[in-house]
Every structure is written in structure tokens, then in C-alpha cells.
Amino acid sequence: MFKNVASQQIAVFAYDTDAKLPKTGDAANITAKISKDGGATAATNDVNPTELSSTDAKGIYIFNTLQAESNANLIVLSAVSATENITLEPVIIYTQTVMVGTDGAVTSLTAITDQLDDVQSKTDDIPLHPASTENVAENKTVIDATNIIVGALNDLSSADILAATGITAGGTLTVAEAIKILLAIAAGQVQDKAGVSGTYQVLDAEDGTTVIAEITPSETTPQLTVNI
């Protein structure tokens, strides 16, 4: 039997000592008292038990218990019958807890349910798997926005690239800036573009003064000269 849990049952067995047989049909005459942890007895909330089966389970009667009636480590239920020569042995029960936490605290079924509800409330807003039907619209919105950004990057001109780096035609470049210009040349964005003619000097990354390369974009063929 679980400790401090509602809607549990205790079975008793009624025996007719004269007939030497289990007693059937005696539910209305049977009552019981209950003791918790060796304390004083009190009448059970279920005044009379329910007979389980007069044919298939002769002599067995069931008492329904309240949660408070199970709130003890030791429970003793003593049943009697008003019918003569009927014997019912006391039922002795040592309860067990539903769950014991790491700190030894007892967790009731109600507390467990509350904890599960709390977990559910915290996980309801987690996005579903991208392949799930419910999340397709949200994913499509993200993908469309990404495509717009990528498209805008694809439309950058050489002038846009130079403006982003703060470079003027014929100016001095760092190695990182030179790589950006080379990428623009490779993409065909520098040649045939106005305002980007001239020679760009690429400075040594270590000393910041030595010219290690020159980039000369033109309307015909972009040239890269490396000083060794």
C-alpha cells in the first residue's frame, strides 16, 4: 500500500467457524476500525465493505480508504461482523512511499504531476523539427529573409566593396583589404567599373610599410604585381 495516497483498498477475509466455510453475503454486517502507526483506532470512512464476489472470491470484502487513512508507516485494520461465528483476521500493512528524492523527501503523486506540468510548460515553446508540418511556415520565412540578404550581397559593385573598406582609388591597402579587392577582380566586379582605376599598393602585414604587391585594375585586364 502506498503512503498518503488516495483511492486505495484493503481486503479482508470473513470465515464462518461453524460452517467451516468462507462467509458470503455479509457485507452489511461487517465494519472495521483502523489504527495508524500504533495510535488509537477509529472507524473507517467506508462504513461497510463491498463483497468482491460471492461465487468466485467467497469471503473476500473490500474497504475503500481515504488518503488520510493511508498516511502512516504502519496501518492496522481490524474488521468484525455482527453475524455470529464470523471471524475476520486483522490486516497489518507497512506502507511504502510513492517516490523518494535524493534528499530523502517524499514526493506525492500530486507533486509529481505538478512537476511534469512545469516541464511541459517550459518545453511547449521549443521549435519543432524543421521537417515538421507545424514549423514549415516559420522556416520558410527565415529562408526567404536569408535569400534576400544573400541576393543583396551578390548585387554589390566594386564601388560598394571599396566604400565598405574605406579605400580610395590608387590608395594603400592592407593584406586583408587586398584580398577583398582580389576577390572583387575574380568576380569581375572591378574591371569595366568607373572610379576604381589606379594602382593599389599592398603593405606588408608585419611592418606595415613595405610594399609587397600592387593591384592595377583596368577596363581590360586586371594585373597583380608582387614585389619579392
Q: Mind listing the pLDDT tens digit for each residue in 59-76?
A: 999 999 999 999 999 999
Last residue of one domain, picked from the residues 78, 94, 110: 94
> Pseudo-torsion of CA 112, 118, 120, 121, nearest 10°?
160
- Confirm whether 115 is domain-assigned: no
Element at 108 (helix H, strand E): none
- Confirm whether 128 is domain-assigned: no
- Confirm whether 118 is domain-assigned: no
Bridge partners of residue 38, in order along the sequence: none
- Confirm whether 125 is domain-assigned: no
pTM above 0.85, yes or no: no
Element at 211 (helix H, strand E): strand 211-216
Same domain, 165 and 90: no
- Confirm whether 151 is domain-assigned: no
- Confirm whether 113 is domain-assigned: no
Same domain, 90 and 165: no
- Confirm whether 45 is domain-assigned: yes
pLDDT for the residue numbered 102: 46
Tell me the C-alpha distance between 155 and 188, whole Å: 12
- Per-residue pLDDT tens for 81-133? 999 999 999 999 999 987 655 444 555 556 666 767 777 676 666 655 555 55
- Per-residue pLDDT tens for 14-40? 999 999 999 999 999 999 999 999 999
Question: How many domains are contained in the chain?
Answer: 2
- Per-residue pLDDT tens for 140-186? 666 666 666 555 555 555 555 555 555 555 556 666 666 666 665 55
Last residue of one domain, picked from the residues 94, 126, 149: 94
- For 125, the grid coordinates are 515553446
- Confirm whether 121 is domain-assigned: no
CB atoms within 10 A of CB 165: 16
pLDDT for the residue numbered 97: 87
Host domain of residue 184: 158-226
Last residue of one domain, picked from the residues 42, 68, 94: 94
